[in-house]
Amino acid sequence: MNLQDQLENTISKLTAPGKGLLAADESTATITKRLSAVGVESTEENRRQYRSLILSAPGLGESISGVILYEETLSQRDDNGTPLPQVAAHQGIVPGIKVDKGKGPMPNAPGDEITSGLDGLEERLEHYRELGARFAKWRSVYHIAEHNPGAAAIEANAEVLARYAAICQCQGVVPIVEPEVLINGSHGIDRCAEVSEAVIRAVFNALYRHGVQLETMILKPSMITPGQEHSRQASPEEVAEFTLRTFRRCVPAAVPVIHFLSGGQTPEEATLNLNAINQMAQPWTLGFSYGRALQEPAQKAWAGHAENWQAAQTALLKRARLNSRACLGEYQPTMEAA
């Protein structure tokens, strides 16, 4: 299978209608916070147990088309000795991998950040492919404040995202391009829309410059919402209206799928907003790529106890299925009680 065939085969699986991605790519520092919140020590063994739990949930592949893994997880095995990427693949879930090396302050740009990790990316991708990864993810973040994000940060992060995506496609790996406009702050929904449009326009301009094939990439953006500290939060209908209006202006129809990140929304909010977005006309398949909004109920149910394994998987499956319905615009809040 040549590189183009590999890309097309992977993207066809990741764009299945009614399905989304499970973002299980938390860094060691982030998963430590998540596990500590439910009283679990973040040892390598506990992380292996937890990720084995979620990847082996029976029927997860009915709602989840791909899973983004952290590097540690790629080489871990379940209790039967099966590599965790294979555990996912056995359910029809495509394994992927987070490849950026994290964010840090951008020089001479107070309040803005830049993501690193391009050095050695080709070699790392070859290794990740050997371990089963078929797609990758790179996240850039944008803070909203009076003077942020600055033009330099918008352009620099767009350039990095485009270079990453081009490298991935040259390796036969589908890139997820994730420009996350953070929900932190007291800004209104209009300001979020303004910043998001500037960010996404810059990203696609950079993707064009670097010859990235839009048909075999995935966009993973934030929804357009007010900041968490804003005095008035938006209804799902308002989120849908602002999100789709903004994206129609700057996301080409050639992009096959947009998998939204949850970005600090509660599990219920993320599902309600996704459902409202999918009740409006759009040229793309619209799905989800949720981390905490899928996993938080499962983590609380598990709490590190083996006897809670089934309850935790049930909690994960419920959120996955509800979001699957939201992908089709068929979610109802009454389903939460089922």
Q: Where are the beta strands (DSSP E) in the chain?
A: 20-24, 64-69, 94-98, 103-105, 113-115, 135-142, 174-181, 218-219, 257-260, 285-290
Catalytic choice (26, 220, 241, 318): 220
Report whether 256 contacts 11 (CB < 8 A): yes
**Residue 250's CB: how many other CB atoms inside 10 A?**
16
Q: How many CA atoms are closer than 13 Å to the CA of 261, on its beta-carbon side?
A: 25
Catalytic choice (19, 98, 113, 178): 178
SS3 178: strand
SS3 175: strand
Q: Which residue has the tokens 């809040």?
A: 333
| 19 included as an active-site residue | no
CA distance 142 to 161: 13
| 178 included as an active-site residue | yes
Q: Return the percent helix, strand and coil in the chain, to nearest 5.
A: 50, 15, 35
Residue numbers annotated as active site: 178, 220
